[in-house]
Each structure stands twice: as structure tokens, then as C-alpha cells.
Amino acid sequence: MAQAQDGLLATPLADRHRALGARMVEFAGWSMPVQYAGILEEHRAVRTRAGIFDLSHMGELFVEGIDAAAALGYALVSEPAALKVGRAHYSMICFPEGGILDDLIVYRLGEERFMVVANASNSAAVSDALAERLVGFDVVLDDRSLATALVAIQGPSSLGVLAPLTDVPVADLRYYAIAEGRVAGVPALVARTGYTGEDGFEIVVDVASAGTVWDALLDAGRSFGVVPVGLGARDTLRLEAGMPLYGNELGADTTPYEAGLGRVVKLGKDGDFVGRAALEKAEADGPRKKLVGLILRGRGIARHGYGIFAGDRQTGMVTSGTLSPTLNAPIAMAYVAPSDAEPGTIVDVAIRNQRVPAEVVVLPFYRRAG
Amino acid sequence: MVAQNLRYTKEHEWVRVEGDLAIVGITDYAAHQLGDIVFVELPEIGRTLDQFAAVGVIESVKAVSDLFAPVSGEVVETNSELTSSPELVNDDPFGRGWMLRLRIGDASQLDSLLDQAAYEDLTRES
């Protein structure tokens, strides 16, 4: 069980983070490592070698029963029934009004068994919403978030590090596939998913086994130059990869279409689902705003909340921004009016009392080779 | 490491006096707190700064921080190396990571700054 400390939840790896010299911060009610050696160094390690991440704060919700696929098809915007066993997809759970409650990954572990992984910040809300929406279906919802740890390894060396540690044939595990087996001798789910834009694996184990897996990955990773990576680099990595963050790009006031993720909504699936009417209307009406990538063409870093202008008219707002370590340029994701969303459009970002030009670009900013 | 012949502000700027000029930067303590520094915005040459006013910006990957003037004076030079290499502030905060030189307006203002021992006390408490 996660322990409460100063009012914050601690992951099973907390002592290890401190021993590694991690700077800890509060995130979604958890005490989490934001950095170890430094954000830039950790970011570059993931892009060139590999890094390991403690993601035990995330939510793991298991849905099992005869109606599992149908129930999730009602509760979510995607169609879990279409997943083969051992496959996963990116999805969203929306409000009846069409706004986003959370973005998540749905993994099919069996004909009647699914795992839903939710953001730490929304874990309880997703659990509550699923409990409500699953009423009437022949399923059991088992929220195992506090009993489950998640360790990720991400980067081009991930496969080389993990393969000798597991009986899961990870070399043959496709992107967005999941398999059950053992890692470092302990029972685990191994998924080829991640939030960095690199190859990598997310390993789900009981909290009691988290240390064993972490230690084994660090140890096996030593000769590959594997380092521990905190939430700071996790954010710069996902931003370069054009991946949204709930609370920044996604929220209750945003539809999947506005976030450029309309492909996740399966309006063609059978039966009603929560938000169907609102999302059908949103799709027909067209977006009120569009999510774009920006590269700043002047000096300055765009940050969450900064205004975006087309001439004197405010056209939108920055949702996430940083200095991209890979591009060595300031990048951002932002919502702008659809008329200003064409790639190549130059807009101005208001940074303190100045306007800095930025170019609209197609996401992602970074795509891995091969 | 805290260099010996400097004075400091509570906001972790250091000052080294050279004749009628003050060289200003931020301490290794501040640089470490900020993390990787990726952007530095300095005041224009010729601008007159007031003591303790926010006169520039230091940005790390995750955060934006103000640079405060330790004494009043006119900016005579800024470190142009920081435009392309902001990481110099992390690597060598008292040397190549210097930020600006100003012509001191009122030398008595230096007395209101922290000396070596007082700054070490401040950072030890934090």
C-alpha cells in the first residue's frame, strides 16, 4: 500500500529516489521525483540510450466480466470490443457534454478482461465515472491503482536492456501490444507503450515487486548508460513528441476534435455511449479552436497561459511550452482559432511585455528514426 | 562553493566590485535551485537600474525567475555568451556565467547587502 507522508502518497520506490539524489515534488497528491541528474541530461539520455521512470502514481483500473467490452464501449469514446486480446489503444472518457474527463490507454488482457490506465490526476474521477457508467452491465470494476506499480523504460536501448530480464518475447511485441509474463522473476504485464516518442515498455507489477523490477532494470541498464528519469524530463519528452497532457491540452472545456484527436471517437460503433449526442454535434459543427504546434522564431520561451495574437486580435493561448532539448529551440502547443491554425502561419506569443513571433507547425516536433 | 570577495542579495545575486563597476551574477545555490537554465534575458546597455528592482529574467526548463539588481546603476555591459550558452550559469555561475556589469550609482548601497558569512547562513537555513 502507498504510505502517506506529509500528507502525500509515496510510491514503493520513494527510498530509492532519495538514495539516487532525486529532487521530489508534489504531483497529483503524490511525492514524485522531478529530476535526478538534471532535466536536460535525463531528456537526452532517453533520446540516445534509455531511461527508467517510476509511474506508480498512475491509475490502473481492471474491468472484468461477460459485458466488459460492451460496458467500456458505453463508458468511453473508443471501441474496446474491436481490440484483439493482447492489444491496446489510446482512448478518452468524456463528459455527457462532450468535454474530456481523462485520456487513457485501454489494454485488452482477455476476452472479458481489460485494464484501463488513467492519469494520476484523474484516477479517482475515472474510477468514480466508470463505477457509475458500468451499472447495469455484467462486469466488475477493480480499481487496483494503490496496489499496482508501473515502471517504464523508454529509449532506443530499451529492448536490449529488458529482453534478457523477461520471458515475454519483447522483441516480437508490437507497438501498443501487451503480454503477461515475468520480469526479473516477478509476475508482470509488459506493454509496448510510452509517453516519450521513443521505443519502450511499460511494466505493471504489484507494489511489492516494484523495487525488484527497478533494481534489475538499472543494473542491466548500467552498460547501456540507462539513467533514472523524473517528471521534468517526462514532460519535455512528451511535448517534443506532440503528446497532450491532461490539464494543459485536454480538459472538460475541450472536445477530442479540438485537440486533433477525433480519430479516437468511434461514432460508428453500435449503441449509445456517454457523450455521443454532444460529440456528434461537435463533429458536425466543427471545432471552436484547434491545437497546434508552435516553434518560436524570436527570443523567448512560451509558457502555459501566455496569450497568442494575430495582429491585435487574441487568437488563443499556449497550453504547454519549453525549450526543446532536441531542436534546441523554444516549442509550444497551443489552441488558436481555426483560421490561424494552418501550418506556416506566423502568430505572436505575448511573453511578458513583448510579442515574439512563432510559426505554426504540424505535430509532432520530434519523430524517432526507423 | 561560495566565492570569498563578494556581496550577496537575499535573492541570491552576487556582486563583485571592480573600481566603480559592479559585476553581477547569480550564485551556485540559486543555479542549483533553478535546475538547467535555458534562457537569460538581461537589461539593455545604458539602462539605469534601481536597487532590488526586477531587471531581467532567468528561465530554467520548468520555471521563470526574476533577476534583481543588487545596487543602483547604469548597465555598461551584459554577457552576450549567455544568449547561445545559458548553461554557463549552471557550469560557472561566479565566472563565465556572469550576467551584467553596471556603473555603481551609490556605493553605500553595498553596505545593505549580505557579506560572505551572512549569505552562508541564509543558504544553510534553506
pLDDT of residue A3: 61
In total, the C-beta contacts within 8 angstroms joining chain A to chain B are 38
Q: What is the mean pLDDT of residues A291-305?
A: 97
**Residues of chain B contacting residue A236, judged by C-beta atoms under 8 Å apart:** 61
**Interchain CB distance below 8 Å, A232 and B62:** yes
CATH (domain of B57)? 2.40.50.100
pLDDT of residue A332: 98
* Cα gap A23→A340, rounded to integer Å: 40
**Residues of chain A contacting residue B36, judged by C-beta atoms under 8 Å apart:** 38-41
| Nearest residue of chain B to residue A232 (CA atoms) | B62
| Nearest residue of chain A to residue B31 (CA atoms) | A38
| DSSP state, residue A173 | P
Q: Three-state SS across A5-65?
A: ECCEEECCCHHHHHHCCCEEEEECCEEEEEECCCHHHHHHHHHHCCEEEECCCCEEEEEEC
Return the number of other C-beta atoms located less than 10 Å from residue A57's C-beta. Answer: 24
B2 within some domain: no
pLDDT tens figures, A45-58: 999 999 999 999 99
The whole-number mean pLDDT for each consecutive block of 10 residues of chain B, a chain of 126 residues, reads: 79 96 97 97 98 97 96 98 97 98 96 94 85
Q: Are A179 and A190 in contact (CB under 8 A)?
A: yes
pLDDT tens figures, A159-194: 999 999 999 999 999 999 999 999 999 999 999 999
Q: What is the greatest pairwise CA distance in chain A?
A: 62
| DSSP state, residue A224 | G
Q: Are B70 and B7 in contact (CB under 8 A)?
A: yes
**pLDDT score of A261 more than 80:** yes
pLDDT of residue A302: 98
**Residues of chain A contacting residue B66, judged by C-beta atoms under 8 Å apart:** none
pLDDT of residue B12: 97
Counted domains in chain B = 1
Grid cell digits, residue A218: 538499472
Q: Is B50 on the interface with A (CB under 8 A)?
A: no
Mutate to test the interface with B, among A306, A323, A353 (most CBs of B within 10 A): A323
CA distances from B3 to A112, B19, B93, B115 (A): 66, 19, 10, 11
pLDDT of residue A179: 98
Per the CATH hierarchy, to which homologous superfamily does domain A289-370 belong?
A: Aminomethyltransferase beta-barrel domains (2.40.30.110)
Q: What is the complex's ipTM, to 2 decimals? A: 0.91
Out of B36, B39, B41, closest to residue A39 by CB: B36
| Strand, helix or coil for residue B82 | helix
Out of A41, A323, A352, closest to residue B38 by CB: A323
**Residues of chain A contacting residue B64, judged by C-beta atoms under 8 Å apart:** 301, 303
Q: Where are the domains of chain A?
A: 3-57+146-240, 289-370
pLDDT of residue B5: 79
Mutate to test the interface with A, among B57, B62, B64 (most CBs of A within 10 A): B62
CATH topology of domain A3-57+146-240: Gyrase A; domain 2 (3.30.1360)
pLDDT of residue A90: 98
B125 within some domain: no
**pLDDT score of A317 more than 70:** yes
Grid cell digits, residue B73: 546603476
pLDDT tens figures, A18-35: 999 999 999 999 999 999
Domain that holds residue B109: 7-119
**Interchain CB distance below 8 Å, B39 and A236:** no
Q: Is B61 on the interface with A (CB under 8 A)?
A: yes
pTM above 0.90, yes or no: yes
B1 within some domain: no
**Hunting for cell 456517454 — which residue is that?**
A274
pLDDT of residue B125: 76
Out of B39, B41, B57, closest to residue A323 by CB: B39
pLDDT of residue A329: 96
